[in-house]
Structure 1
């Protein structure tokens, strides 16, 4: 039986001691509420369905996310760590004050809808978030609950994120370079003071490698004799070997022969030393923005170079399997999203079939 006692402050405390279960207590405003809770809890214990909710009621979403960022996030790739810290800030802003026990599926659904509709910026203007951004934020929140339940022993009956609809993935970008845009872009990058910028852009156009993959390449990964680059750390965690076109080979050869290469780093594309004296990959955000402006490119991102490269490989006649081996796509569906053939380029092929 539960013990119900009145506290000095005038509230009522229910205390349950039952063999095989941890001592459980909770305070209520009225005696009847305390008795009802004690009766329900004892019944759950008898039926083997009791969940110790106190830790979930005490831990806020903000505290849980901070613990996740300390314990779980550091086990992931550097690029993933940066992204999770950013996503956590949005979750903390909207949901941080809720306890894990109080965060229900309808509250998470409201968060989803609010983010898709857009948060207000400093000028009172709503800034909508993309489906993919919100989907990834929900994925982080969902995994937080999974870890809390399975590893931290936080008593929760279910994961609230698993009970809501996730925003559908975007249709994928369809931005291709026209021949004139391609010419202007290469001319713009070639005029930049640091030649590494030009080499990186040209390699991206020739190989379809991601920016993180190019930036992280070490000297030992480039085999100029066989004309391949062996990537050890990729987005999908599967190492792959990328064959190099003649233009890509020239870009890597120029980078390897760079007379300014410092002896303390083996990065092919190296930046200035940080405060700790360590050289990290070369960054060129401003140079990229300036080059796009000089080339007159609108709505064009660096990652679109990967789309362009993969589409060119398909247009060159390579099979889907061959393109996937170069680009690293694990499924043909994902490869399809990254491959955008120009309809006008297919007209000639259709005419040949009709002959």
Structure 2
């Protein structure tokens, strides 16, 4: 992770918060009816190419929304665009925004050692894993706890995370001995973000669920977003790779901060539009800050990350921000691009498979100038 930078005090590459401003505005051509028709055709083509029981591709451009849905399954009683979908790891964009808001509002610094929060009285040591490390995947933790696979194996095709509760996640963290100093290597970790979620409770006096509701969902009016299953009348039903068999609703177990959010396409667009136009009300400062690169890695530092998003350049315009996610039976892609005032939310009720066109189609919609 050469050249990495982390955003808060207590992390090894910065000693002051770096809550930066928005990307410089660019001149954007006026959106015309022809542009809307073209985007509609692209969304319809993406729905068809995804080959899933239920598919929704939703786009917002300058606040004008276009949604297209379809699928190989019979049309459900509830409109596909009104159902809640599991977004899996894209939940981390909500958790990243939450942590950034808590830092921006002065409740936390991001440099708090997770071990002393989760085990009061324990010596943090000379190089502790901080909340910032956990959120930015620089904690040194593996993707999942070492004993996760053994515990999850009996339910591997149904609900493996449900067999690994919160107490076990915390215990696995307290027993873990990192091979590398925190902050020197990037390694994507559901484990780390899950630990962050649990560490927020002793740090703030409120659970991740309550904090997210109070500081993100309620202020952004995300009333059709949930943190647990509500049943088939409200939630889309996931399927296996071939789309033929249904799977149970996803239970995040002890990993809610890493993957528990489920939302309607309209709520997801509302969430993304808030990043494009934060306004003045909380968490506006955090919405601006989560655009800021906090680390760069890879050859030529070509891989750029913010606290919450992957950040890629585009061919001729400004950067795009995105995150994908998957559960056992559903997939999601969220992204936004400030220079074209575009947001894309894509959802399907089929497990990921090799050569899957779903994510690439969503990415292409956002990357196109």
TM-score greater than 0.5 by the shorter chain: no
Higher relative contact order (Cα pairs below 8 Å, separated by 6+ residues): 2
Shorter-chain TM-score tier? under 0.3
